[in-house]
Structure 1
């Protein structure tokens, strides 16, 4: 095997299709197929399941693609180290974002990246924080924005901000009186029908941990993992929810939802920029990480993102539960 074959194989797995990989790589599809067959003969194992819907890696293929991504990343880092800091940073940078962060960050980040680093191709994938964490561990992305992660010494993080998580309800009471104005205690949640993300979702874990610490039993009537649908259900009077205030900007502006500060001290969660600590980061990755950090800080300072900046932006550090 050589580096070209590894790059071809990674692209085939990422696109899930020989034809799409051929288009991205500007290589004839039969040539890609032949490269994969040669790799399978060399290794003595099948690397891909092929069907009319596309291709997916076998267990052996998954193992190979993990190693291939690491090898390609290390080769690119070595190339940059030899060249030094001369010239503009270039290449692909893969960024993973939770949905609420993507809505706030993508437009200003892409605008600045295009202006400052025209040779960098920024790729963004959006998912819940737990999936973004998996992508980091599997080397499917270079940098992730996360609200939490477990004790993992293979990751390093910079804390950016802390955002308030609040109780929300419909603009007008429907079948019960609203809580009074002001901060709502966790004890008051016991009497409210709640619409929350599913168990295992980072925000749900945060809410339940706080409720357990205050010995409050929550009444969850609907589990749903899409913030947009949660807000629609609350607007429709099917219950209350608990979401970050930053996710409610449009609804609060038009008056379709009402929000209350929650808990004493206020319920909040921290946002981090995270990347692998166990492999060198290319220069392009580092400058995009720094640009994302600066963009998030500017959004908070300009009042676009209702949050509090970290008192002291700590240097990237390894692992740990940064809840």
Structure 2
């Protein structure tokens, strides 16, 4: 027997399925079945009872499992003792909130895979860092800005709101409208002054920071709120999204960095961001605590 056979055995034992173990071990199901049969023949025992769905370990399999686990652990320990440690590469990335957890997770995952030994520190965009993912309005003098995503804003309303029957929202509809103010928010900074110029006065019911709290108040019927048009909001039954006419409420999010910073991790991140440009905002999600 060899370690490879034992590792296949452990996978089948833990998964309770030949097909699931094959996927875990990245081999074909027939190859794994052959390895298990060879192991059974060598030991002179039956290790698994085949069931209509999956397999069930025998008493001999229970006995072998403990030995196999210890042996595989020892082999992995021997291999690890000869592996040269990868030099850590620290990188501080400043992030605003409400970036969309799905798209940010994908970007950071790819970044981590491409930079060996990356030790990534996510910090507030106001802290000293190697690069920042921010809105165009937050760009500092001397920074280069590479656009990544373009987001639009909509009005989130309670399902019982009279506005639910309208196909879109006019600025005049904000007169005396129960509204949740959310700051900081680029869309609010554009909408509220425009309402003032038109002498339109909404009924401000709350002043909060996070999207999650804003949506909670909308769901409770307290008022309406401006939110980015993230895909998963369209799946909610307690909140409706409406387009706003007469005013384009949008933001551009991008990577900001100083031109003098030419480290290899930053070059890789720039290329990833350039490759990511124009991903549709409908593929995004927000996470509790997000602000923008």
Superposed pair shares fold, TM > 0.5:
yes
Determine if contact 2:172/2:200 at 8 Å carries over to the other structure: yes
Task: State the number of aligned residues.
Answer: 200
Write out aligned runs for 1:1-323 (5 A): 91-125=89-123, 132=125, 134-135=126-127, 140-149=128-137, 152-170=140-158, 172-173=159-160, 176-198=161-183, 201-246=185-230, 249-277=231-259, 279-295=260-276, 297=278, 299-300=279-280, 303-305=282-284
The Cα shift of 1:120 comes to 2.5
Q: TM-score, normalised by structure 1?
A: 0.54
The Cα shift of 1:201 comes to 4.4
Structure 2: state its 5+ residue gaps. Answer: 1-85, 286-292
Q: Structure 2: how far apart are the matches of 1:104 and 1:210?
A: 32
Query: Secondary structure in 2 aligned to 1:233?
Result: helix
Query: Secondary structure in 2 aligned to 1:291?
Result: helix
The Cα shift of 1:267 comes to 2.1
Structure 1: state its 5+ residue gaps. Answer: 1-87, 307-323
Determine if contact 1:161/1:270 at 8 Å carries over to the other structure: yes
Q: For residues 204 and 254 of structure 1, do their structure 2 counterparts lie closer, same or farther at Cα, with a shift above 3 Å needed?
A: closer
The RMSD of aligned alpha carbons is 2.8
Q: Deviation string for 1:178-232 (max 9, x for gaps)?
A: 253322111211231111213x543431322343454433332100001111111
Q: Structure 2: how far apart are the matches of 1:256 and 1:273?
A: 34
Which structure has the larger Rg?
2
